Structure 1
Amino acid sequence: MGKLWSLLWSKLRTKYGVVIALFVFWVGFFDEHSLLQHFQNINKLEQLAKQEVLLRNKIVSDKRKIQELRTNLTNLEKFAREEFLMKKENEDVYLIVEED
């Protein structure tokens, strides 16, 4: 290991070795396509994949709910009453708000 290190150190001390070392350092940490950016992109890709799964499940659920509302008038009426506070002409609506 000592000989390898001394050989590597002797090669790095030349002007070509310094330029190569600076290039590797620059590409590894400061370049637009650096290793840091690469790992951040991998992490973001994983987060987006998880979000995609959640959103696809929500789309399926919403499509099911829309189909149910289109085919069943009782459910449509219940949805309108709960979400939009709609009422029939001869009804009074009372809202009960529970405080924590």
Structure 2
Amino acid sequence: MSYIQNLKNKYPWFKYIGNRYVLVFIFFMVWMLFLDNYSYLEHRVLNKELDELETNKEYYQDEIKKDCLDIKRLNNPDQIEKYAREKYYMKRDSEDIYIIEFEEEMLLEEEENHKSL
């Protein structure tokens, strides 16, 4: 008992930390911040996932808008032909198609392919 009294006299803040209400409060805070299922750390992880999902949602909504515009344009037969020529390199029987690729673009594509693997 005298050892505890010596600590309280030597360190005045020790008497506040030794109070049982303060100890219960500290235990509660540690529990809520780190150990509970709804802890602060878990909320941070969930918030990061939520931000990522919202970013993906925006991206896919933009892609849907682009696809809707493409569908509207493809109602015209001339646009269908143009789309087939550009995307699938289709040609008429009397035509020849030459695909020109620049070296810089090829290097960028190779780097992207290596990153995705």
Structure 2 portions without partners, runs of 5+: 1-11, 105-117
Number of the residue aligned with 2:50: 45
Task: Kindly provide the CA deviation profile for residues 13-54 of structure 1, in whole angstroms up to 9, marking residues without a partner as x.
Answer: x8xx36x64454233113332111112212321232232122
Percent identity of equivalent pairs:
29
State the distance in 1 between where 2:14 and 2:37 align.
Answer: 31
- Taking structure 2 as the reference length, what is the TM-score of the superposition? 0.63
Aligned-residue RMSD, C-alpha: 2.8
SS at match of 2:102: coil
Q: Which of 3, 15, 19 is equivalent to 1:6? A: 15
1:97 counterpart = 2:101: yes
1:35 counterpart = 2:35: no
Aligned AA (1:92) = D
Higher relative contact order (CA 8 A, sep 6+): 1
Structure 1 portions without partners, runs of 5+: none
Instruction: Tell me how many residue pairs correspond in the alignment.
Output: 93
**1:53-72 correspondence to structure 2 within 5 Å:** 53-69=58-74, 71-72=75-76
